[in-house]
Every structure is written in structure tokens, then in C-alpha cells.
């Protein structure tokens, strides 16, 4: 299986929203072959708790504005160290940079294909 077109669209919009809030180390993984409840995990990092919360909030706002969807579930907003936002086909993980290294989701999902992200800096570099 591969991620649905809808999940890939959500991922691109969410990644751009995160990038606009200065998220770094953005990685999208196609987990559709291994999970029945999601197609893509989007991982992003922030340098501090406030930044993590801001990134997650911007992603939620953008997906609501562009697609009219709300998060089904949200966890981690009390501490701002690892915020998980579940949109169904897309699950967003926004980490404090230290927690991302500690939990190592990229290591756990190392066999999942990487979804290419079309971010402004990447577009400009390719021209």
C-alpha cells in the first residue's frame, strides 16, 4: 500500500505550515503499509516548548482553513515537549529537539518510505 493522495496533500500543507513557524528537520514517513489508522507520519522539531506548541497550532489552523478538517485527537499540549496531532490519514508529531532524539521515531520506522516534501527552500534550491 501507499499513502492516499488526500494524505499526501494534507502532509504538504502541514509541512509548509510547520516550516513557516521555523520548524526544522521535517520528515514525512509513509506508514500506510504498517498501520491501519494512518497513512503518513509528519515529524518536525522545535527548539523550545513554546515553539513546539506554535508549530502544532499553525498546522491545525492551516488544515482547518484549507481542508475544513479538525484534529481528531491532540496530546502533549500541556508540556510542549512532544505534541501529537491526529488528523486521521495524517498524524503529526512535533518534538522538542531533545525529545526527538530520545524517542527516535525515525529509527523505529526506518523501513517506512520517506515522502518528499515540497518546501519553499527546496523549490528555490532546485531552480
- Report the chain's mean pLDDT, rounded to a whole number: 93
What does pTM read for this prediction? 0.92
Using 50, 70 and 90 to split pLDDT, how confident is the model at 24? very high
Query: Selecting from 3.30.460.10, 3.40.190.10, 1.10.10.10, 1.10.287.130, what CATH number does the domain 5-118 have?
Result: 3.30.460.10
- Write the pLDDT tens digit of every residue in 61-120: 999 999 999 999 999 999 999 999 999 999 999 999 999 999 999 999 999 999 999 998
**pLDDT of the residue at 121:** 64
Task: Specify the DSSP class assigned to residue 32.
Answer: T
**Complete edge-to-edge strand list for the sheet that includes strand 40-46:** 73-75, 82-86, 90-96, 40-46, 24-30, 114-115
Amino acid at each position: 500500500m501507499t499513502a492516499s493522495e488526500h494524505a499526501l496533500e494534507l502532509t504538504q500543507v502541514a509541512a509548509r505550515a510547520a516550516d513557516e513557524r521555523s520548524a526544522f528537520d521535517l520528515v514525512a514517513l509513509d506508514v500506510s503499509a504498517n498501520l491501519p489508522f494512518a497513512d503518513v507520519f509528519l515529524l518536525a522539531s522545535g527548539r523550545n516548548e513554546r515553539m513546539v506548541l506554535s508549530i502544532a497550532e499553525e498546522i491545525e489552523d492551516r488544515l482547518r482553513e484549507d481542508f475544513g478538517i479538525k484534529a481528531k485527537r491532540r496530546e502533549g499540549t500541556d508540556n510542549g515537549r512532544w505534541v501529537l496531532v491526529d488528523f486521521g490519514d495524517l498524524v503529526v508529531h512535533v518534538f522538542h529537539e531533545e525529545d526527538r532524539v530520545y524517542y527516535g521515531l525515525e529509527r523505529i520506522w526506518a523501513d517506512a518510505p520517506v515522502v518528499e516534501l515540497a518546501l519553499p527552500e527546496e523549490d528555490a534550491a532546485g531552480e
